[in-house]
Amino acid sequence: PKNVGILAMDVYFPATSVVQDALEEFDGASKGKYTIGLGQDRLAFCTDLEDVISMSLTVVQSLLHKYDIKPSQIGRLEVGSETVVDKSKSIKSWIMQLFEKSGNTDVEGVDSTNACYGGTAALFNCLNWVESSAWDGRFGLVVAADSAVYAEGPARPTGGAGAVAMLIGPNAPVAMERKFTGTHMAHVYDFYKPKLASEYPVVDGKLSQTCYLKALDLCYGRLCEKFEKAEGKQFSLAEVDSVVCHSPYNKLVQKSFARLVYNDFLRNASYLKGSGSASLEPYRCMPLEDSYTNRDLEKVSQQVAKPFYVEKVEPATLIPKQVGNMYCASLYGGLASLLHQKASDLHGKRALMFSYGSGLASTLFSVQFHEGEGNFTLSNIHSVLDVARKIESFITVSPEEFDKTMKIMEIRYGANDFKPVAKLNNLRPGTFFLTGVDTLYRRTYDIK
Ligand code: ACO
């Protein structure tokens, strides 16, 4: 099979949300800290009616319906998530409810977990399957979904929630360039979830930022090397039309792109000539380790990167800025944003995608866009995603209400024998919701 990649996709995020400038005030943070300092506009969150399972059910059902795919046409279903509802039972097993009805239980795949990287692991599993001798001609389906919540404190505004579903097969409008990848994996304690009775992570924010930027450097170097060996010419951002990064919060994406431009500067990329990059000269011989925390270098490289950022990165930041960190779904929410903003313009273009999961696992990979055919075209993906309507239908709640919900969710986590108290009218039509958890911890869902 040729041009294996994403044939179709859909994105879901809860309607319930809080705006970041109200949250700043409520938290007593200085004005602009969350909106400018972190670069975030809004944060979507689950009430006790929704969880990672309901969001996954919603996005899968929607994708199958809108692209007219029968459940029997799916041969592999992979889920990437770090939201633990059950330490044994996979999220995939709940999604099987949508397939059993049609009689299709012949569906390989379970869940993949490593912080925000699980969605990428799930995607690669599906791509590998379609490209393997085991492939039976049916579609793969990837679900990346998470509810990202933090304890009260500086990390709380970097939460979010959402799910992305992607249909995988050959002749895709979003085709993977599988030769051009760079991976870096290592053992670090930057963000982890050792407390099994709590949904909240333990996080070393500053360390996680440095780990992310170092991983990006290493992945970029490795991808450049592979490209240059295969193509016999230098790789730089000049070869790339868009860059989509895992987005814990937008400021880190701005810094990441600036970091790539600094890499290109060190590699003497010709597109930087005449772009003001001479201002980076004082930092050419800076020890690598110092370069991750040097504020002046950060500022100067962001200035040099700015015009390229507007062109290559900004279009992919819409959903992450509006929804917040969706962990595994964050990178793919970025891709959905790009397809939403630029669909008609993407044919023949290339995007780099950077996936980072703390702990850590990271891969930079490349996709190429094609017009596509039938239901699987860039323009149809654009209309199915329907991003503008989803954003317009946000329900804004007060920070007090958000805070109250977080407290309810703390009690709900790992609990049994309850029914949700949140109001159904806060859900968009077609949304799955939790109807209850019985004394044996069995969860049941319905659709609005
Ligand atoms: N106006 C404008 N900017 C402001 C203001 C203000 N009033 N106040 C602060 N800022 C800026 C700061 O200068 C800083 O920007 P900079 O980094 O460009 O200097 C930014 O706002 C954040 O302020 P900090 O003081 O650095 O914030 P704090 O340390 O309180 O928290 C952090 C930020 C560490 C990101 C925290 O939210 C966190 O731990 N989040 C979770 C971890 C995370 O997302 N890590 C990323 C990779 S791992 C993953 O994906 C989960």
User: Which of 46, 116, 211, 245 does the annotation list as catalytic?
Assistant: 116
Superfamily of domain 5-447: Thiolase/Chalcone synthase (3.40.47.10)
Q: What is the separation, in whole angstroms, between the first and last Cα of the chain?
A: 39
Predicted pLDDT of residue 131: 98
Separation of 35 CA from ligand 1 center, angstroms? 10
The answer to whether the CB of 282 falls within 8 A of the CB of 266 is no
Q: How much is the ipTM here?
A: 0.98
H/E element, 5: strand 5-12
Predicted pLDDT of residue 160: 98
**For the CA atoms of the chain, what is the radius of gyration?**
21
Predicted pLDDT of residue 275: 81
Whole-number Å distance between alpha carbons of 247 and 317: 8
Whole-number Å distance between alpha carbons of 157 and 323: 11
Predicted pLDDT of residue 157: 98
Separation of 209 CA from ligand 1 center, angstroms? 9
Predicted pLDDT of residue 345: 95
Predicted pLDDT of residue 296: 97
Separation of 161 CA from ligand 1 center, angstroms? 19
Q: Is 88 exposed, middle or buried (0-12, 13-18, 19+ CB in 10 A)?
A: exposed
CB atoms within 10 A of CB 32: 12
326 touches ligand 1 (CB under 6 Å): no
Give the CA distances from residue 348 to residues 71, 193, 239, 242, in Å, rounded to whole numbers and listed in that order. 31, 41, 12, 12
3-state secondary structure of 164: strand
How does DSSP assign 347-365, residue by residue?
A: TT-EEEEEEEETTTEEEEE
Report the residue count for the chain.
448
Mean pLDDT by 10 residues, the chain (448 residues): 97 98 97 98 98 98 98 98 97 98 97 98 98 98 98 97 98 97 98 96 97 98 98 97 98 98 97 90 96 96 97 98 98 98 95 98 98 97 98 98 97 97 95 98 98
Q: Are strands 432-437 and 395-396 parallel, antiparallel or unpaired?
A: unpaired
Residue 116 among the catalytic residues: yes
280: Cβ contacts below 8 Å, ≥ 6 apart? 262, 265, 297, 300, 301, 304
Per residue in 64-91, pLDDT tens?
A: 999 999 999 999 999 999 999 999 999 9
**Shortest-distance Cα residue to atom 30 of ligand 1:** 154
Predicted pLDDT of residue 300: 97
Which residue, 120, 119, 94, is CA-closest to 107? 94
Alpha-helix residue ranges (DSSP H) falling in 166-246: 205-231
428 touches ligand 1 (CB under 6 Å): no
Domain boundaries along the sequence of the chain: 5-447
DSSP label of 137:
S
